[in-house]
């Protein structure tokens, strides 16, 4: 387990790839929900589902890597900030795992597959589990529309606060000769 105060380069790259995929997935999901026609909705959802196929692998990699390596120590100044950082980081991973499971499940339980940009499709015959179709769909939509955006805002706010605090600390450590 790596207890370095910083994330590794590999972890940082995976973080930013995941960020880009999650933001794209959120945007596409929200656009699909407001699409003016069924054709537009199906097109946007097709892109959402195709990107979701790749997001699945990055999110699983991110979670497995974090479980293997652990989290670097939280550097926030108060116990409340440390607790909030601890909770938000872990909840983000949990809800992302939930999304990459409920998305395909809600397709598979309706007899549909994951069509990846028309290149190939992934299909699991889970129609016999149709009783979980509606709950999977609702969980996927609610988590995507409300929970992930809220956690992302908290994460971004924490990152900004952390960055600004680090910047102030660096300024405080300058000597008159540095100025």
Name the token pair of 143: 């988590």
Q: What angle do CA 51, 57, 59 make, to 5 degrees?
A: 90
- Tens-digit pLDDT profile for residues 147-174: 999 999 999 998 888 778 765 554 444 4
Question: What residues does each domain of the chain span?
Answer: 9-178
pLDDT attached to residue 121 = 96
Q: Please tell me the predicted confidence (pLDDT) of residue 176.
A: 46
Task: Give the position of tokens 């120590």.
Answer: 73
What is the per-residue pLDDT for 53? Answer: 96
Q: Which CATH number fits domain 9-178: 3.40.50, 3.30.70, 1.20.950, 2.40.128?
A: 1.20.950
pLDDT value of residue 87: 92
As a whole number of angstroms, the distance between CA 109 and CA 134 comes to 9
pTM of the predicted protein model = 0.82
The SS3 call for residue 116 is: strand
Q: Among 11-15, 113-117, 130-134, 160-164, whose mean pLDDT is lowest? A: 160-164
pLDDT of residue 165: 75
In contact, 64 and 176? CB cutoff 8 Å? no
pLDDT for residue 158:
87
pLDDT at 6: 66
What pLDDT digit, counting tens, does each position of 26-79 carry? Answer: 999 999 999 999 999 999 999 999 999 999 999 999 999 988 888 877 776 788
Report the mean per-residue pLDDT for the chain. 87
Q: Can you tell me which residue has the tokens 């509606």?
A: 134
Residue 155 sits at the vertex; the CA angle it makes with 154 and 158, to the nearest 5 degrees, is 85
């Amino acid at each position: 387990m790596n207890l370095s105060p910083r994330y590794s380069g590999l972890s940082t790259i995976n973080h930013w790839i995941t960020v880009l995929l999650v933001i794209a997935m959120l945007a596409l999901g929200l656009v699909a929900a407001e699409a003016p026609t069924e054709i537009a909705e199906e097109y946007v959802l097709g892109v959402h589902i195709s990107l979701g196929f790749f997001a699945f692998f990055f999110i699983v990699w991110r979670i497995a890597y974090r479980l293997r390596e652990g989290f670097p120590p939280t550097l926030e100044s108060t116990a409340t900030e440390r607790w909030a950082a601890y909770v938000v980081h872990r909840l983000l991973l949990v809800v992302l795992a939930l999304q990459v499971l409920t998305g395909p499940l809600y397709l598979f339980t309706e007899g549909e597959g994951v069509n990846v940009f028309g290149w190939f499709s992934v299909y699991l015959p889970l129609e016999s589990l149709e009783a979980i179709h509606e709950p999977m769909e609702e969980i996927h939509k609610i988590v995507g529309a409300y929970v992930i955006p809220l956690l992302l805002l908290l994460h971004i706010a924490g990152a900004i606060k952390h960055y600004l605090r680090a910047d102030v600390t660096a300024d405080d450590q300058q000597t008159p000769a540095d100025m």
